[in-house]
Amino acid sequence: MKGPLPPAITVRGLVKRFGATLAVNGLELDVARGECMGLLGPNGAGKSTTLEILEGLQTPTEGEVHLLGLCWKKDAKQLRARIGVAQQQTWLYDRLTVEETLALFHSFHTHGLDVEEAIARVRLEDKREDYVMHLSGGQRQRLSLALALVGDPDILFLDEPTTGLDPRSRRTLWELLEELRAGGRTVVLSTHYLEEARRLCDRVVILDRGSIVAQGRPSELIASLEGGRPSAVSREVTLEDVYLAFTGHGPLEVPSP
């Protein structure tokens, strides 16, 4: 008899050192299937390093990482086919069109979305025949997302998917990501935009200096600070307050455990 499906991601005792720098310091993480989890934290907190280890692009110094019950050491080929990655700066061929770029990436996969479907998912139909070098920043980001989706992955990793975009392009991308979420895919994204985390993520993990300083549903984290609101702070507590409080820079006090 088949047992329950393994969780999307489990991380145990993850450590990554670069020389004297401790980039990730004993991380423990579980991501359920279909969950959208956000990694937040100040510059240098270890978000990209953590994502890159999950994506198989870096090897951990210590610890265990399992994705869909598989691990990079033994099951790299299988895992490659089951994850999609959109990095902060995806390297693209400027002299290919949108359609050609997707066809190329599609050819790397044995199954997945067809090119037309991937183009439609990110609403680039009217840019299909444009060269990549003529795309705007937001259109490039949407193409990167389509490239991550073309293999129809079980887990999608997005490293700061909307950094550098204007507010309208950011909103367009949020709408696309909300649709993906609704489709039940597991998503892990890193972001500096708290509004993005609040809008898209079921759960956020706040990292600081390689360790988790807080985690939970955005609404739970906000509620956890409500009691510590000093009278000087009469407005509603926001996710920004949570972020600042847990990284040691905010006006609200973190409740003692």
> Contact positions toward ligand ATP, by CB under 6 A?
18, 21, 23, 41, 43-49
CB-based contact 85:151 (threshold 8 Å):
no
Q: Which is nearer to ligand ATP, 43 or 110 (CB)?
A: 43
Q: Which is nearer to ligand ATP, 46 or 153 (CB)?
A: 46
> What is the CA angle 193-222-158, rounded to 5?
30
Q: How far is the CB of 57 from ligand ATP (least distance, A)?
A: 11
Q: Which is nearer to ligand ATP, 43 or 231 (CB)?
A: 43
Q: How far is the CB of 128 from ligand ATP (least distance, A)?
A: 32
Q: How far is the CB of 120 from ligand ATP (least distance, A)?
A: 31
* Residue partners of 12: CB distance under 8 A and separation at least 6: 28, 63, 64, 65
- Considering only CA atoms, which of 181, 23, 163, 18 is closest in space to residue 90? 163
Q: How far is the CB of 45 from ligand ATP (least distance, A)?
A: 4
Q: Which is nearer to ligand ATP, 23 or 67 (CB)?
A: 23
CB-based contact 162:196 (threshold 8 Å):
yes
